Amino acid sequence: MKAKNNNKSSNADFIKSTKRLLGYMKNDYIKLIIVAVFSILSTVFMIVGPKIMGNATTEIFNGVMRKISNPSMGINFSKVLKIVIFLVVLYTVSSVFSYLQAYIMSGIAQRVSYNLRKEISEKLNRLPISYFDKNEKGDIISRVTNDVDTLSQSLNQSLMMAVTSVITVVGIFIMMLTINFMITIVAVLLVPITMFCLMMIIRKSQHFFKLQQKYLGKLNGKIEETYSGQNIVRAHNAERFEQLNFNKINNRLYETSWKSQFLSSIMMPMMMLISNVGYVVVAILGGYLTIAGKIAVGDIQAFIQYMRTFTQPLNQIAQIMNLLQSTIAAADRIFDFLDEEEIDFSAKEVIPDDKVEGAIEFEHVKFGYDENIVIKDFNLKVSPGQKIAIVGPTGAGKTTIVKLLMRFYELNHGRILLDGRDISTLELDEYRKNFAMVLQDTWLFNGTIMDNLKYGKLDATDEEVFSAARAAYADRFILTQKYGYETILSEDTKNISQGQKQLLTIARAILSNPKILILDEATSSVDTRTEEMIQNAMDNLIKDRTSFIIAHRLSTIKNADLILVLNEGDIVEQGTHDELMKNNGFYKNLYDSQYEELEEIN
């Protein structure tokens, strides 16, 4: 019973995905009609060819027989030549229509691919950060590349082939009926047998085609992950471990691919077996009728040729079913992605830039990742221009607080206010314009230093960029580069140091001129001298702005207006550095432990 329900569900999904895919061609319906017309004309011209060629064979056969009975008579070569010329014209016109339909259909398939990639790209910007936390990057990339390419290629082939095959089957059936009704009935009996066998195979193979696309995405994810972390893999001698993990996924992909391809590949030999049986039956029956004088030699030759051709579109239908399975499996993955829950953009309230003061308030905020509560009952009130430092052990919820402030995640309970307004009621893009983030993990893209800096303000002038770079102490190293601000940063920005990357991200933040600033472990991975430069740059950045600073090195936040000490999602202490040291509590223990570590190092 369960298997039947699964089959029904699979069939329903197949139909649903097919309808949705056809919806992407709604603007090309006229072109699809033209393609169908060209396919019909091309196929019809090809179908009538054997019948006309049969007339030429009959004329030659009759001429030979006349020559035997009357030597003065013979083959009418003039009539045969006319038939041959007509056939050449017929097949030429058929080829032209076939070329035109292929040209138009290729354009339709590529437009569908273009629109799907565009939708996927736009969807990426509407997905919550939680989606990227739960899914592999490589799998997402696979949907944009492999799945769309699979869909495009098979769509281009299968639609044309489907129209041509149906027209061919119908046309050949009609032509066979004009030759002999009895033999036609024998030939047609093969169709239900063939279709039954095809449907049985398709039901089995569709499941494996879906798994094939799934594991292909996982394999891409593993390759991307291993490639980006190659330094760590080598440093820990983990090559063998990574190879075993890769082989595990690769074996699953092999198993599902093998099963799907095997099941689909047996369609063709099965079709050939059925068609050959039919061919033998037709040949025997046709020979008998020819001897009995009930059918002309040319007609039986044409019928046998039609019989051979009749099985070709059935074979093509088998191939189409194979292609469609890959197409729908890829389409299912794409549509699953496009149907993912999006960020709520319904809020439209906007605070004018000149009205944003930067007052932040957390009211009884509760939040957890997948029901694992990280922030239990967080309350905080920050005045405009205040410098707030957040410290605490790993897993205390420090980074989560600023992610909630940036609206990367939705709260489980409570609310966050900006200048007295609930941030969930504010238009998201305009809200985030008031923020800039400088993270521990710097992100720069392959392009010039100028382009990377302007990412903070796309319409910035060159002078504004220079000014921001000077304020971040980044202009010193930029000007030492051979091409200055036009220096191309390589992939993964390997041609500059970690500290230099951090200075560029700070300059980018300064250029964006935010009202509220978030610094998350911005100096944790640099040396002391570079840290001093970054600290000076951050002092310029923080000036007159509400700022939240997450730091492990407590010595860097001594001058904060307020230090929040977090532990297990709650504020356990708060105050200035001096006040917290006098309390002789959690903060002092953290500070003293870091001081002792420095003493041991020295």
Contact 557, 389 (CB under 8 A): yes
Contacts of 43 (CB under 8 A, 6+ apart): 94, 164, 167, 168, 171
pLDDT at 342 over 90: no
486 and 558 together in one domain: no
- Same domain, yes or no, for 505 and 519? no
Position 349 in a domain: no
Residue labelled with tokens 């190092």 = 601
Query: Do 519 and 472 fall into the same domain?
Result: no
Sheet containing strand 360-369, edge to edge, reads: 372-382, 360-369, 413-418, 421-422
208 and 106 housed in the same domain: yes
Residue 17 CA, chain-centre distance (Å), reads: 16
Beta bridge partners of 570: 567
Q: Domain for residue 461, yes or no? A: yes
Cα dihedral value 77, 78, 84, 85, nearest 10? 150
Tens digits of per-residue pLDDT, 551-574?
Answer: 777 767 888 889 888 887 778 888
Mean pLDDT, all residues of the chain: 79
Q: Are residues 315 and 452 in the same domain?
A: no
pLDDT of residue 466: 92
- pLDDT at res. 34: 84
Tens of pLDDT along 156-183? 777 677 777 777 778 778 877 877 788 7
- The predicted structure's pLDDT at residue 64: 65
In a domain, 537, yes or no: no
Q: Look at residue 5 and tell me if it is in a domain.
A: no
For residue 195, give its domain range.
10-338
Q: Are residues 479 and 446 in the same domain?
A: yes
pLDDT tens-place string over residues 276-307: 777 777 777 777 777 777 777 677 777 777 77
- Res 172: pLDDT: 78
Do 372 and 325 lie in a common domain?
no
Of 310, 311, 413, the residue nearest 366 (C-alpha): 413
For range 188-203, the mean pLDDT: 73
Helix (H/G/I), strand (E/B), else coil: 12: helix
Do 496 and 597 share a domain, yes or no? no
Q: Does any domain span residue 592?
A: yes
Q: At what angle do helices 2-23 and 190-228 cross, to 10 degrees?
A: 80
Same domain, 398 and 249: no
Does any domain span residue 350? no
Rounded mean pLDDT of 362-375? 83
CA 335-338-342 angle, 5° bins: 150
Same domain, yes or no: 418 and 449:
no
Report yes or no on 509 lying in a domain.
yes
CATH code, 582: 3.40.50.300
Percent of the chain with pLDDT over 70: 87
Asked whether residue 64 falls in the same domain as residue 125, the answer is yes
Sign of CA dihedral 12, 14, 19, 21: positive
Calpha distance 336→342 (Å, rounded): 12
Q: Kindly indicate the confidence band of residue 527, based on its pLDDT and cuts at 50, 70 and 90.
A: low
- What are the beta bridge partners of residue 416? 362
> Which contiguous run of DSSP H or E holds residue 7?
helix 2-23
* Residues 6+ positions from 281 with CB-CB distance below 8 Å: 186
Total tally of structural domains belonging to the chain: 3
Q: How far apart are CA 57 and CA 18, in angstroms?
A: 46
Residue 71 within any structural domain of the chain:
yes
With a threshold of 0.85, does the pTM exceed it?
no
Q: CB pairs under 8 A, 24+ apart, for 64-70?
A: none
Looking at the fold, whether 100 and 142 belong to one and the same domain comes out as yes
CATH number of domain containing 264: 1.20.1560.10
Query: Is 143:333 a contact under the CB 8 Å cutoff?
Result: yes
